[in-house]
Structures are given as structure tokens and as C-alpha cells.
Structure 1
């Protein structure tokens, strides 16, 4: 049996971002039979503009679409900016949603996790991300969402937090869209 491929969209561009480190940890701790790949260069995506989206789609958008189309699952790992998802993540979802009705994200099981140094752990960003991905055509797996506060715990070393995050990946991998639709 081939690996289940999970593509990760990181909502922070900062090199030392906690959420990037979470994505790297999930990649490094992927269960057997699962390949977790981080989509790089989201900062190279121009803001979505239908005028750019034609025969000569920007290379960064074409590459992201191909990587997501070839993945089995999509996971967003994101902080929260001013009570919502970061613009870079929203923009990536916009590119993945087109062409309307057949975008690369259509039908892909989708989950969202992340951490923020707030008491709420980014839950508003995670709700907005899931809603946007669902509207874009992804199949949002509600049981995957982990909104972790980083105020009083080191999310990269705490065994309980790591178990929740790794459990979210396993739930996303185990999700059967056909059974859920029945």
C-alpha cells in the first residue's frame, strides 16, 4: 500500500514561527505509511486575481495547485492574526479554490491545527480557515482541529500536546470521505 500524502499549509511566514516548528514536528513524527510535506514558498503567491489566473498562471500558484492535487489530505498549521487566519493562508486557499468547482482542494479531507500565545490558542483563525476551506470545496474533518494555547506550555515538548497534534494527523489520515458522506 502506498503512503498517504499530507500537504501542510503553514500560516506563518516567519522562519522561527512556532507553527512552522509544529509543522516540522508533525512531518518528523509522521506515522508509518504517512508522508507529511510542507508546502514551501507561500510568500511567492501573488494575491489572488482572476486576471492572473488563466493560461499563464503564476508559477508559484501552479506549483501549489499541483502539490495539493497530488496529496491525499491537506492540513493547515496556523497562528491567529487579529482574530482571524493570516492573509498568506487565505490567499493560498483562494488559489486552491480555482477554477471554481474543480480547484485542487476540492474533495480533499482538510484539517487545521496550531498554537498561539493567547488563552484561546487560535480558535477563531482555525474556525475561519475551516470555513474558507469548506467553501473552497475541501471536506473539513472537524475532529482534527486543535487550537492550543502556548501561554503556559511548551507545545513542542509537552507530551499531552504532542499527542493531540499527532492524533489530529492520524484522524485526518484515517478519515474516509465516502463513509462520512453516506
Structure 2
């Protein structure tokens, strides 16, 4: 697992960097949700991470529904508003049948639409994932990266975090207690803040607020 880069010496992030965290698992106690909750705890000064908690309310993508509602029903609008209000995204995906969950792909399909405005093109994104299996979520993350590349999102190339055998890394209260995994996750969060500053330095809090 790679340590944080030195990009912070080269680029300046917005005064406050707002990151929206999305878990691809709907289970309340999922390892991916817990991973994102820990990421929020590890965020450096000047960076805030908010967990999006309404993915289960998003209907299946339907162009007829999109047309009838002028871009999507209210749950889709709330998702779009949350993404528009963030400088970047941190997505944690489980691995189902060697790929990403349908609920996560569905949300991306809604977000990729240009009505009423393009959201994912140019949006900095980092991907992590946790699984109870031996191989982490390597295939799911690869599939998710492919989908996000198609939307022209700016997916952070490194560092990677594939959390395997996750049940041994969290305590009974759901806290991530494995030191190496915490350090690797912190590296991802710091690197994402730097990635946002590098690839979208023109963003400001005012710019993001206008998109919301």
C-alpha cells in the first residue's frame, strides 16, 4: 500500500474540501460503510467527509421516468444535489459476483445524465472497497473504474485499498482497529484531497455552492 504522495507541497486545495462518501452496500453494518465512517474520522484538517445515506431510495434508471420528471424524481435530485455540492467523491464498493453492485451502477447511470447538468465529468473520485473474502474487491473496483472512466470522472490512480478478510479488522462495535488498514485509508483520504487540488484547482466553495 502506497504512502501519501507529496502533491500537497505542489497544489493548494480549496479552503474547505468537501468530499461525499458513497457506499455501494445497503447494509447498515456493512464493512464498506464502516470504512467510510472511519475515513471521515481520518480526514485531515480542512477536509470534511459526509456519508450519503439514501442510495436505497434511488429508483431504477428509466428514460421515461427521467423525461416525465425533468431529470429524475426527488430521490435522484437529492443525490445529484449532494454530488454537485462536493468537491470530490469517495466510493467504497463491495464485490458481488466479481463486479460492482447493481445499486451503485444504477446511481452512476442517473448521475451520468446531462439533464439538467453534467455532474460526473471532471469530478475527482477515489475508489476503495472491503470484503470478507481473500481478494478484497479488486474486480469490483476495476469494473467501477471502467464505468467511471466512461462518465469522464477523474478517477484517482493511486493509492489503492483492497480490504480483504474484513471481519478480522473491525471490532464488535464496527470500529476499524487494524493499524495498517487505518494508515492505508488515511493515505487514500489525504491523496484524494491532493488529487482534488491537482485536477480541479479552479474549484472553490462558491463554485460548488452555485452547482448545488
1:167 aligns with 2:187: yes
1:108 aligns with 2:123: yes
Q: Deviations over 1:153-173 (max 9, x none)?
A: 415111111111111111111
Give the counterpart of 1:86 among 87, 101, 107.
101
CA distance in 2, matches of 1:143, 1:64: 26
Q: For structure 1, which segment, 91-100 or 65-74, has the greater mean C-alpha deviation from structure 2 after superposition?
A: 91-100
1:3 corresponding residue in structure 2: 16
Q: CA RMSD in A?
A: 2.0
Give the counterpart of 1:38 among 51, 72, 84.
51
- TM-score scaled by structure 1? 0.91
CA distance in 1, matches of 2:106, 2:112: 10
Give the deviation of 1:144 after TM superposition. 3.8
* Cα contact 2:94–2:140 (8 A) shared by 1: yes
* Cα contact 2:91–2:128 (8 A) shared by 1: yes
Q: For structure 1, which segment, 5-14 or 49-58, has the greater mean C-alpha deviation from structure 2 after superposition?
A: 49-58
State how many pairs are aligned: 179
Report SS of the residue matched to 2:158: helix
Q: Which runs of 4+ in 1 moved over 4 A?
A: none
Counterparts of residues 44-123 of structure 1 (less than 5 Å):
44-54=57-67, 55=70, 57-99=72-114, 102-123=117-138
Which of the pair has the greater relative contact order for Cα pairs under 8 Å at 6+ separation? 2
2:6 corresponding residue in structure 1: none
Q: For structure 1, which segment, 54-63 or 87-96, has the greater mean C-alpha deviation from structure 2 after superposition?
A: 54-63
Report SS of the residue matched to 2:108: helix
* Cα contact 2:130–2:166 (8 A) shared by 1: no
Report SS of the residue matched to 2:177: coil
Report SS of the residue matched to 1:15: coil
Give the deviation of 1:2 after TM superposition. 2.5
Report SS of the residue matched to 2:15: coil
Larger Rg: 2
CA distance in 2, matches of 1:46, 1:152: 31
* Cα contact 2:122–2:200 (8 A) shared by 1: no
2:9 corresponding residue in structure 1: none
